[in-house]
Amino acid sequence: MKFGYFDDSNREYVITTPRTPYPWINYLGTQGFFSLISNTAGGYSFYKDARLRRITRYRYNNVPIDMGGRYFYINDNGTIWNPGWSPVKTELDSYECRHGMGYTIIKGKKNDLSAEVTFFVPQDYDGEVQQVVLKNEGSNEKTFSLFSFAEWCLWDAQDDCTNFQRNFSTGRVEVKDSTIYHKTEYRDRRDHFAFYTVNDTIDGYDTDRDSFIGLYNGFHNPQAVEAGKANNSFADGWSPVASHYKKITLAPGETKTLVFILGYVEMPVDKKFEADGKTINKEKALAMIEQYNTPEKVAAGLAGLKAYWDKLLGILSVDTPDDKVNRMVNIWNQYQCMVTFNLSRSASYFESGIGRGMGFRDSNQDVLGFVHQIPDRARERIIDIASTQFPDGGCYHQYQPLTKKGNADIGGDFSDDPLWLILSVSAYIKETGDWSILDEMVPYDNDMSIAQPMLEHLKVSFYHIVNNLGPHGLPLAMRADWNDCVNLSCFSDTPGESFQTYTNPKFAAEGGYSKIAESVMVATLFTYTGPNYVSILKHLGKDDEAAKAQAEIDKMKKNIMDSAWDGNWFLRAYDANGEKMGSKECEEGQIFIEPQGFAIMSDIDADATKKTLAAIDERLNTKHGLVLNNPAFTKYYIQYGEISTYPGGYKENAGIFTHNNAWIICAAAYAGEGDQAFKYYSEIAPAFTEETSDLHKTEPYVYGQMIGGKDAGADIGQTGKNFGQGKNSWLTGTAAWNMVAISQYILGIAADFDGLRIDPSIPAAWDGLKAKREFRGATYDIKVSNPNHVCKGVKSVTVDGNAIEGNILPAFGDGKTHSVEVVMG
Ligand code: GLC
Ligand code: GLC
């Protein structure tokens, strides 16, 4: 069952009923000001940091689930409704929500009155613009009242939902003309305020929540709206809100357009106030309001936003025989990659924005998905991340975006972290050819006095693995590797301990974690990423160092075959007792997904590759994607940690963790199994799940972190319950990795150190594909034909009519368009 449809020409998903199986959301903003908006206008806004600079309030895990947002209420002679249906939930005569690239349009109609609201954050602007177009579509004059509504958050989102003894006494506002200013704590230590304004006169306002809503009412029946009139209330302590009230009369056919702006302003300390020392100096706010106070300016802002996305999405576009692939690659997957770039894992309907900063591993992997779109910002991001590394190559696991400092509460010792830096730096160089990033002086632990060139950071990353090996010559697992829930040094038997940050005191003497537990996943990640480091050294003429690094990679491959090959697949780990994890010898959790793909792509052993791909298909694949492990754990294994705490079929315990599905898609494509790769791709790609949105539940235009696996429900004797149900949509490394999988491995268009590599691994049934790719200052018009219907193999390549050797297109850098013909066979 579907709840809408894709409008590809407008790059929109059009939702046709407000009753989606979960709030289906969009993100507004690309630089500093961000908003989340659901298909009923629920959600919230923040500036840069979802925790430390939260502007509007949102209550997570609410009942009903999506309550609180920026709401417009209409009281039309006693019929009260919202253009987005919720929160009043009056049945509308028509409803539509269009989520587009950085904007959302919600349109509702009731009793011949239509209201269309366009929400967006313009480029270079710290505010959300909301344009409301009201139209009398009937034949009689209509008089009704309109109320806007936003609820201020008291800035620090964590504090906002805990420290009530203080919070209830701090709220402060100012009202001037049609603008409501939120200035809680502005008098003291904050140099920022927010405002909510409308470009017209108003008939009243409310700024105190209890006056507007009423203590015994809710968002669904605010007493001011029911009364049809505002109270002109003034918040003083308690809970500040912002609501404008306007009485409107429309002749038949007449339209009224109002532009609301929710803005954020930072002020220099000496200019915060007017001469009286207490009234906000509104100069900057008024200038901001001036920027979008007419429909014409709004139209120009929207056009600017569209141009921005045209540019970003114009860098890579494809035309394959499958519309769903085109829609994912050309629009939604790239869009989601930009959202994960901007938001990391901070704020979604599943991430409250208060728990985590930017992850070292997550943000490095995100780079892989967006580096072609905004290479400059990728460079900046990589440097920010690398600045939180320690001199020995270990890393802070997270940092806060506002301070860019490593998060000491979480600390380091996640065994995979350093390797992702090698991958992101390599991806950046491959895309741009900008080798100068390696010379950039980058601090350790944010301390510029011990800065070293980025190349040195790569070296310590590489050797951090080499210097931390266990008894089988495999990397120590430490607190966790990529899988946060494989905690081999934890042995936790006490509620409340964090599986990731708690390490059992029995390992204290050994430096905090087991010196026996080893991660095969990190071993294969090392043999997969290591060759990038070797290529970089060779390019720099450092042949001795390259040979030394290559020897370490070769040695690791040997150790993997000697100690981590289980006969049909690769082991997952050795636990702290020296026992195999992820072996046919285990009772549960006999095979795990994580090491397999990287092992295949490391060319460790051709026979092992074949057997592994077969085992994956047999043991892990389902119609909804590949489960993480099999069989699921049905009891708690103290030596494994969190992974065995989830009911089978969910999250890391045999859920379909879509992030690492991509590694297998890449690996199958790499191994020439284009059909197998595409099968796995289409099992999880959102556009392919659209038809079963009632089961899948999350948005059909973006990936989620997880899909319920085949073991879901087994614990309660209902095997298959929730199998196929999506969870945790939007902020996931799945976006970047599936972008890599489809564009680089399946469609086979991949930036490489020496040029643009074309090496498709597609379904044999395809006749070919076309693509347009901007790369290092030239445009490549690529046509691939597949006359013999193979999955993989390039027979010939011509560029502008001339045959070239091999399949790497040179970087022309001449600003011209080059036509490329590739024949497979
Ligand atoms: C989440 C985390 C990521 C981790 C993964 C597996 O996606 O953000 O860091 O690798 O879970 O546990
Ligand atoms: C991290 C991981 C998530 C995991 C959680 C466990 O947040 O990203 O996947 O389940 O830790 O606490």
The structure tokens listed for 29 are 């903003």
pLDDT tens, residue by residue, 630-678: 999 999 999 999 999 999 999 999 999 999 999 999 999 999 999 999 9
The structure tokens listed for 494 are 């006490």
- Rounded distance between C-alpha atoms, residue 426 and residue 366, angstroms: 13
Q: How far is CA 260 from CA 39, 80, 98, 295, 513, in A?
A: 19, 20, 19, 11, 55
Ligand 2 pocket, residue 160 CB under 6 Å:
no
For residue 705, give the ligand nearest its CA: 1
The DSSP secondary structure of 77-96, one letter per residue, reads TTEEE-TT-TTTTPPPSEEE
Ligand 2 centre to CA of 527 (Å) is: 26
Closest-CA residue to 99 (of 175, 32, 189, 4): 4
For the chain, list residues with pLDDT below 50.
none
Ligand 2 pocket, residue 362 CB under 6 Å:
no
Residues 643 and 483 sit within 8 Å (Cβ to Cβ): yes
Can you give the pLDDT at residue 147?
A: 99
The structure tokens listed for 113 are 């009155």
Q: For residue 733, give the ligand 1 atom closest to its CA.
A: 7
Q: How far is CA 360 from CA 328, 400, 411, 446, 531, in A?
A: 27, 11, 11, 14, 21
Q: Across-strand partners of 256?
A: 134
Residues 478 and 413 sit within 8 Å (Cβ to Cβ): yes
Beta carbons within 10 angstroms of residue 65's beta carbon: 12
- Rounded distance between C-alpha atoms, residue 539 and residue 435, angstroms: 10
Residue bearing the CA closest to ligand 1, atom 7? 732
Give the phi and the psi of residue 663 in degrees, each rounded to 5. -65, -35
Q: Which residues does the annotation mark as catalytic?
A: 484
Ligand 2 pocket, residue 706 CB under 6 Å:
no
What residues flank ligand 1, with Cβ below 6 Å? 345, 359, 361-362, 482-485, 652, 659, 705, 732-733
The structure tokens listed for 651 are 């999250």
Give the phi and the psi of residue 707 in degrees, each rounded to 5. -130, 135
Ligand 2 pocket, residue 351 CB under 6 Å:
no
In degrees, rounded to 5, the angle at the alpha carbon of residue 779 between the alpha carbons of residues 777 and 784 is: 140
Residues 775 and 751 sit within 8 Å (Cβ to Cβ): yes
Beta carbons within 10 angstroms of residue 78's beta carbon: 8
The structure tokens listed for 69 are 């947002």
For residue 361, give the ligand nearest its CA: 1
Residue bearing the CA closest to ligand 1, atom 9? 362
Can you give the pLDDT at residue 357?
A: 79
pLDDT tens, residue by residue, 104-129: 999 999 999 999 999 999 999 999 99
Helix (H, G, I), strand (E, B) or coil at 454: helix
Q: Pocket of ligand 1, candidates 340, 346, 352, 362: which has the most ligand atoms within 8 Å of its Cβ, to mutate?
A: 362
Residues in the chain: 825
Q: What is the dihedral of CA 83, 89, 94, 95, to 10 degrees?
A: 60
Place of tokens 């306002």: 205
Can you give the pLDDT at residue 412?
A: 92
- Rounded distance between C-alpha atoms, residue 599 and residue 179, angstroms: 60
Ligand 2 pocket, residue 651 CB under 6 Å:
yes
Helix, strand, coil share (%) of the chain residues, nearest 5: 30, 30, 40
Residues 639 and 576 sit within 8 Å (Cβ to Cβ): yes
Burial of 655 (0-12, 13-18, 19+ CB in 10 A): buried
The DSSP letter of residue 436 is: G
Can you give the pLDDT at residue 271?
A: 97
Ligand 2 pocket, residue 484 CB under 6 Å:
yes
Q: For residue 359, give the ligand 2 atom closest to its CA.
A: 8
> Cβ neighbours of residue 547 under 8 Å, at least 6 residues apart?
none
